[in-house]
Amino acid sequence: MNGHSKISIIGAGSVGATAAFSIAQKHIARELVIIDVNNDKAEGEAMDINHGLITIGRMNIHSGSYADVKDSDIIVVAAGLGRKPGETRLDLAAKNIGIAKDIAQNIMQHYNGGVILVVSNPVDIMTYVILKETGLPAGKVFGSGTVLDSARFRYMLAKQLNADIRNIHGFMGGEHGESQFAVWSSVHVSGMKLDSYCAKMGVAIDKDALVDDIIGLGAQVIKRKGVTNFAIAAIVAELCGTIMSDRGSIFNVTSLLDDYYGVNDVCVSVPCILGKDGVVGHLPYDFSAEELTKLRKSADGLRVFMDQLGL
């Protein structure tokens, strides 16, 4: 790392704290600030990570307040409420929108640069609200979107194909929710199209069942352990590393779309080019006609939901 680099994480819950640990493990920034309404929790998480610095190297890891977002290269928003039993998605979104507005207003009191990476759910809506509330350029605010879903997609394909996950490529698009869809045209195994690979290797995949499984995987983890935190934390660290290094890598993050194949004024996941300024471009991916229909349907459904919330 050249010069000073700083990442601030808002929210010291399971996701925020694990993301902080993942970022520290990869030594992505020289300074790491953990901010939470419960300062003792934030301070405790910082202390715990600091006690492992002997295996990491020199870093300045500490708790802080919103004033500490100043001079951040990346501000990670991981604060929000989880859904309670009997609560609808609309109920949860309405509560978290209030939190998102409050976070955005607090950030902007001290903001002087950097990008905002939103992880809190519902991530597409939270990203949209924080973007609008901050008034920042569209690419400066984006969310983790379907990056985790895409990772699960590749994991499930690797299991079914009995192949190395590093040889399998493909992604999920649309909303980080039930209307997401598999971009089957993107899937290849070591450069070989999936259908051709399956035919030659004698493997059969039930594509619809696989997508249904992927959409439900998060709920399956939550059912067993109460939260999903490790995989998303690893992905947050990867995204932060990409931004810090200005790599120009392509990830399916959620960001504001402006006439992307006819999709407007909604944040959903499509292939985005990531650099130090956040989303620096949307890749005009060669979707099939069926995939474009699913993308537009996902975006339209999210827009209707947002209209119900007054967004």
The model's pLDDT over 219-274, given as tens digits with 9 standing for 90+, comes to 899 889 988 999 999 999 999 999 999 999 999 999 999 999 999 999 999 999 99
Can you give the pLDDT at residue 128? 97
**Strands (DSSP E) found in 36-157:** 60-64, 74-77, 115-118, 141-143
Tokens of 196: 């051709």
The residues annotated with a catalytic role in the active site are 176
Q: Are 121 and 81 in contact (CB under 8 A)?
A: no
Q: How far apart are CA 122 and CA 107, in angstroms?
A: 20
CATH class of domain segment(s) 6-143: alpha beta
Can you give the pLDDT at residue 58? 92
DSSP character at residue 247: -
Can you give the pLDDT at residue 219? 86
Spans of all domains in the chain: 6-143, 147-308
Region of residue 306 (left: phi > 0; alpha: psi -120 to 50; beta: else) = alpha
Can you give the pLDDT at residue 1? 47
For the chain, residues with pLDDT lower than 50 are 1-2
Tokens of 20: 């902080």
What distance, in Å, lies between the first and last C-alpha atoms of the chain? 40
Same-fold call for 6-143 versus 147-308: no
Can you give the pLDDT at residue 92? 82
SS3 (DSSP) at 310: coil
User: Domain 147-308, what architecture?
Assistant: Alpha-Beta Complex (3.90)
Whether residue 122 is preceded by a cis peptide bond, meaning omega within 30 degrees of 0, is yes
Q: What is the pTM of this model?
A: 0.95
- 274 φ, ψ (degrees, to nearest 5): -105, 135
Q: Which residues pair with 282 in a beta bridge?
A: 272
